[in-house]
Structure 1
Amino acid sequence: MVMIGKLLRFGRRQLHTIISRDIIKPANPTPSHLQTYNLSELDLLIGKLYLPMLLLYPNKDSCSLTAQDKTRVLKNSLSQSLTKYYPFAGRLPTLKTPYVDCNDKGVVFLEARSEAKLEEFQLGMAQDENLDNLFADNMVCNNSPHSTNLVGIQLNHFVGGGVGLAVSLSHLVGDGCTLGSFVNHWASVARYGSADHKEVLPLNPHFIHVPRTDSSEAPVMNQQNAGLSTPVTRKFFFPNSKLNDLKKLVTSATNDIPTRVEVLTSLLYKTTVAAATTNSGCFKPSYLMIPANIRRRLPELPRTAVGNFVSRMMVPTTHARETSLSMLVREIKKQKWQLEGVKSMQQATENYKLLMSKLGNDQDLKTLIKRSYTCSSLCGYPFNKVDFGWGKPMATAIALRSAGQNSFVLIDAANGDGIEAHVTLEIQDMEIFQNDKELLSFCQIN
């Protein structure tokens, strides 16, 4: 273990101190016949960025483990978990190589100490400009374009107890479902003490072994400096009672029963486009982009399949009238219905290519990003149930400010009563968005 004395400014007052750095390797070596893990064509199309998940755990009186005990448990269980998630402990031979060298070099594990109290941090979490400091080696979205590491872990200790566990996963090797399966598998190993325990077995990862791509190099989408100039993030809470009211409102206009996610996605998009229109002085055609998990549509594909099994739905709005809640919900449902025809990875890949080609023919990347709004739903994913042996998290978040893109990330509330929306927009648009009367009638601002 290497002791570090690096101080990072955290928020406006607190200091964040990196106190240790370690490399966690798999408990057992990866067999020689698994030394190379080929990335699928869809993995390569999605590109090199990181999925940064933060889990906050309070210090409970019922838990007898000290901070040192928790660190030891996390490291030991991570080592065992990496035996089964063996590519995560490997490296990309080069930044453009379309496969992972499963060489067991390990996962970086940092510890940090914050001068903030956990409760204070949670209240301002979505608005903190330095949230990225909680993640190992700057593995947040597009921040580490030159890193060949695939996973980074940072355990953050808060004053008075409580920890924030930050997990970064390269999108090249997995999507949100992969990240959820990985952290829950790791947590179950921590709880039961062994990867071979009967309660852990159902979470075993399933790797799809694909042939090497024809290309000797993976395509790289350089989005650096192409995003929002001044992005800010705010968290909005929508209780189930208000979401039910919103569903009734849409149902009365469409005679169709929408889901919570469909109506909330539509409301967020409608409000952001209205805010952007107010700032620019005129309506500009925009896109609503929705990543979709297609695992259940692919025959015999386990839920714990590792990799990117996603497609994208795109809802274009060329006129202001197309941003009404009823029209947006109807179009989202239409896009979902069209995805039902995807029955293979090849189809998913071709659909993704087709969508990207449509966008590529539009305008330059910077303009396109400012006119596109991506809504990623993690509702129904098990992030709020990740229990390492000291209880479930009090809060979860994905740090996407660094992506520099208009985005909404939807996560189930920790208590199950509603949805938290983490919204990232240009600061000028956010000023109007967060004061929208219709939006405020359905939510609480955190």
Structure 2
Amino acid sequence: MVIIGKLLRFGRRQLHTIISRDIIKPANPTPSHLQTYNLSEHDLLIGKLYLPMLLFYPNKDSCSLTAQDKTRVLKNSLSQSLTKYYPFAGRLSTHKTPYVDCNDKGVVFLEARSEAKLEEFQLGMTQDENLDNLFADDMVCNNSPHSTNLVGIQLNHFACGGVGLAVSMSHLVGDGCSLVSFVNHWASVARYGSPDHKEVLPLNPHFIHVPRTNSLLSEAPVMNQQRVVESTRVMREFVFANSKLSVLKKAVASATNDIPTRVEVLTSLLYKTAVAAATATSGCFKPSYLFVPTNLRKRLPEKLPQTAVGNIGSLMIVPTRHESETSLSELVGEIKKLKLQLEGIQSVQQATENIKLLLSKLVNDQELETLAKRSYTCSSLCGYPFNKVDFGWGKPMATAIALRSAGQNSFVLMDTADGDGIQAHVSLESKDMEIFQNDKELLSFCQING
């Protein structure tokens, strides 16, 4: 173990100290016939982004484990889990390699200590511009210098004894569903002590092996063009109780004679409010686009398990060319129409071709800089059991995701810890956020954390 003497300014008051760095390798070597993991065309479209997730656990009196015990459990179970998730412990041979070299070089595991108490930290977390410090090796954005690593872990110890576990996974090897499957498998191994336990076996990953492609990983993938524009962005967390979302659903249903889901109405409300804020900031309405990534595992004719690893989804794009198209009823109706079109997708390859076609048309119609400024991405992790991830010391008291470094307008939706609503992590230009967070209609349905 290497002791690191680096101090990081964390938040507005506290110091964050990196205290150790390890490399965790798989408990068993990867068989020779699995040592090359080909990336799919869909993976290559996504590009070099990270999915940065945070899980916060309080220090419970009922838990007899010390901080050292928790670290030992996490490292041992991670090593065992990487035997199953063998590509995660590999490397990209070069920055453009279209496959993972499953060489068992391992996953970086950092430990850090904060002088803050967990409760104090959470109060300011949603407005903290240094949230990224909780993640290993800058694995929170698309220009990390450590981009050949695919997974990074950082265990953050707070002064109260609580911990924040930061897990960052390269989007090249999987989507949000892949991330939650990996973390739940890891937690179950920690809880039950073995990857061969009967409760863990159903959580084993399902890999879809694809043929080698001649395509190379692009330095600026088409799907990420809207992410690379330099900007000043801030992140806020908004919490929508189910009771408030029910009111919103009824209002939209009365206008459309169709019952929307809570995710559909919330996605539409966030996008509508963000477009209105951008319009107020610039002084005029400009055509805008809503990108909605969609999980296809249960939609394909040959249904795939939720434990299937990879980028297995499609992309819905809602164009808003006129200000009149930003009403909730119109936006919800467009999302529902696009969802119906997904029913015709027969395979992951067809989904990939559809995405490429959609994006090529969009890029032909708009200059990239304009597209970047007026595009919004809404990803829903609702229904994914992040709030149930138990390593043996209870479920997390809160979850979060680092958005500020993504460099894009984005909304990420997650179930609240108590299951009684949705927390929306919103990243916008600072000027737009000032207007967004004071929108009267939005505030009538939510509360702002932080």
Instruction: Give TM class, smaller chain.
Output: over 0.9
Deviates more, 1:374-383 or 1:226-235: 226-235
User: How many residue pairs get matched?
Assistant: 445
Which residue in the other structure is 2:324 paired with? 321
Letter in 2 for 1:430: M
Q: Deviations over 1:94-136 (max 9, x none)?
A: 0100000100000000000011110011121111000000000
1:219 Cα offset (Å)? 2.3
Match of 1:219 in 2: 218
Tell me, in whole angstroms, the C-alpha distance in 2 between the residues paired with 1:145 and 1:77: 27
**Aligned amino acid, residue 314 of structure 2:** S
Match of 1:286 in 2: 288
TM-score normalised by the chain length of structure 1: 0.98
Equivalent residue letter for 1:263: V
Matches within 5 A, 1:349-388: 349-388=352-391
2:432 is equivalent to residue 416 of structure 1? no
Q: Which amino acid aligns with 1:80?
A: Q
User: Residues 137 and 146 of structure 2 are in contact (CA less than 8 Å); yes or no, is this contact kept in structure 1?
Assistant: no
Give the deviation of 1:242 after TM superposition.
0.3
- Structure 1 position 9, deviation (Å): 0.8
Give the secondary-structure state (helix, strand or coil) at the position aligned to 1:297: coil
- Could you tell me how far 1:146 is from its partner in structure 2? 5.0
User: How far apart in 2 are the matches of 1:237 and 1:297?
Assistant: 29
User: Partner amino acid for 2:28?
Assistant: N
Of 216, 226, 240, the residue aligned with 1:238 is 240
Q: Distance in 1 between matches of 2:330 and 2:170?
A: 35
Deviation readout 1:36-69 (Å, 9 max, x if unpaired) = 1101111111111110000000001111000000
Q: What amino acid is the match of 1:435?
A: N
Give the 4+ runs in structure 1 shifted more than 4 A.
222-225
Following superposition, the deviation at residue 256 of structure 1 comes to 0.5
Do the aligned partners of 1:48 and 1:145 also contact (CA within 8 Å) in 2?
A: no
Give the distance between the partners of 2:145 and 2:354, measured in 1 at CA. Answer: 26
1:268-279 correspondence runs (5 A): 268-279=270-281
How far, CA to CA, are the matches of 2:73 and 2:136 in structure 1?
Answer: 19
Gapped runs of 5+ residues in structure 1?
A: none
Distance (whole Å) between structure 1 residues aligned to residue 303 and residue 279 of structure 2 = 45
- The within-5 A match list for 1:118-157 is 118-157=118-157
2:401 maps to: 398
**TM-score after normalising by structure 2:** 0.97
Is this contact kept in 2: 1:49–1:145, CA < 8 A? no
Once the two structures are TM-superposed, the CA of residue 363 in structure 1 deviates from its matched residue by 3.3
Q: Hey, what's the Cα distance between the residues in 1 that align with 2:388 and 2:229?
A: 33
For 1:181 and 1:21, locate their aligned partners in 2 and report how far apart those are by CA, in whole Å: 25
Cα RMSD of the aligned pairs, angstroms, is: 1.2
- Look up the equivalent residue of 1:419 and give its one-letter code: I
Corresponding residue for residue 84 of structure 2: 84
Q: Distance in 1 between matches of 2:228 and 2:55?
A: 29
Residue aligned with 1:2, SS: coil
Q: Distance in 2 between the 1:400 and 1:235 partners?
A: 11
Query: What secondary structure, in the 3-state scheme, does the structure 2 residue paired with 1:199 have?
Result: coil
Note the C-alpha offset of 1:284.
Answer: 0.5
Q: CA deviation at 1:364?
A: 3.5
Q: Distance in 2 between matches of 1:60 and 1:396?
A: 17
Distance (whole Å) between structure 2 residues aligned to residue 317 and residue 279 of structure 1: 18
Identify the residue that residue 194 of structure 1 maps to in structure 2: 194
1:227 CA displacement: 2.7
Of the three residues 428, 431, 435, the one matched with 1:428 is: 431
Residue 433 and residue 300 in structure 1: after superposition, are their counterparts in 2 closer, same or farther (change >3 A)? closer
**Could you say which residue in structure 1 is the equivalent of 2:28?**
28
Question: What SS does structure 2 have at the residue aligned with 1:161?
Answer: coil
1:228 shift after superposition: 5.2
Task: Supply the AA of the counterpart residue of 2:106.
Answer: G
SS in 1 for 2:76: helix
Residue identity opposite 2:385 in structure 1: P
1:297 aligns with 2:299: yes
